[in-house]
Amino acid sequence: MKRMLVTGGAGFIGSNFIQYILDNQQDVVLLVNLDLLTYAGNLENLKTVESDPRYVFVHGDVRDRDLVRDLFGRYDFDTVVHFAAESHVDRSIVEPEIFLTTNIIGTQTLLDAAKAHWKIHPEDKYSRAFRPGVKYLQVSTDEVYGALGRTGMFTEDTPLSPNSPYSASKAGADLMVRAYHETYGLPVNITRCSNNYGPYQFPEKLIPLIIHNALKEKPLPVYGDGMQIRDWLHVKDHCSAITTVLEKGGVGEVYNIGGNNERANLEIVRLILKELGKPESLITHVKDRPGHDRRYAIDNTKITAELGWKPAYTFGRGMAETIRWYLENPEWVEHVTSGAYQTYYQKMYGNR
Ligand code: NAD
Ligand code: TYD
- Residue 288 domain flag: no
Q: Is 91 in the pocket of ligand 1 (CB under 6 A)?
A: no
Domain holding 24, by residue range, is 2-202+233-260+293-313
The per-residue pLDDT for 131 is: 81
CATH number at residue 250: 3.40.50.720
- Residue 134 domain flag: yes
pLDDT above 80 (res 303):
yes
Q: What angle do CA 129, 135, 141 make, to 5 degrees?
A: 125
- Residue 215 domain flag: no
- Residue 346 domain flag: no
- CB-neighbour burial class of residue 280 (10 A; exposed 0-12, middle 13-18, buried 19+): exposed
**How many residues belong to the chain?**
352
| Residue 307 neighbours by CB distance under 10 Å | 17
| Residue 274 neighbours by CB distance under 10 Å | 10
Closest CA to 156 of 242, 238, 295, 253: 253
Which pLDDT tens digit goes with each residue over 191-201? Answer: 999 999 999 99
123-138: average pLDDT: 82
166 catalytic, yes or no?
yes
144-153: average pLDDT: 97
- Contact indicator for 202, 40 with CB cutoff of 8 Å: yes
- Residue 218 domain flag: no
Q: Which residues contact 82 (CB under 8 A, 6 or more apart)?
A: 7, 8, 62, 107, 110, 136, 137, 138, 139
- Residue 244 domain flag: yes
DSSP per-residue letters across 129-183: -PPTT-EEEEEEEGGGG----SS--B-TTSPP---SHHHHHHHHHHHHHHHHHHH
Ligand 1 center–CA 128 separation, angstroms: 32
- Contact indicator for 318, 198 with CB cutoff of 8 Å: yes
The per-residue pLDDT for 351 is: 87
From the list 78, 86, 90, 143, the catalytic residue is: 143
Total count of domains within the chain: 1
Which pLDDT tens digit goes with each residue over 321-348? Answer: 999 999 999 999 999 998 899 999 999 9
- Residue 337 domain flag: no
Q: Is 25 in the pocket of ligand 1 (CB under 6 A)?
A: no
- Residue 99 domain flag: yes
Look up the pTM and report it: 0.98
Q: Is 35 in the pocket of ligand 1 (CB under 6 A)?
A: yes
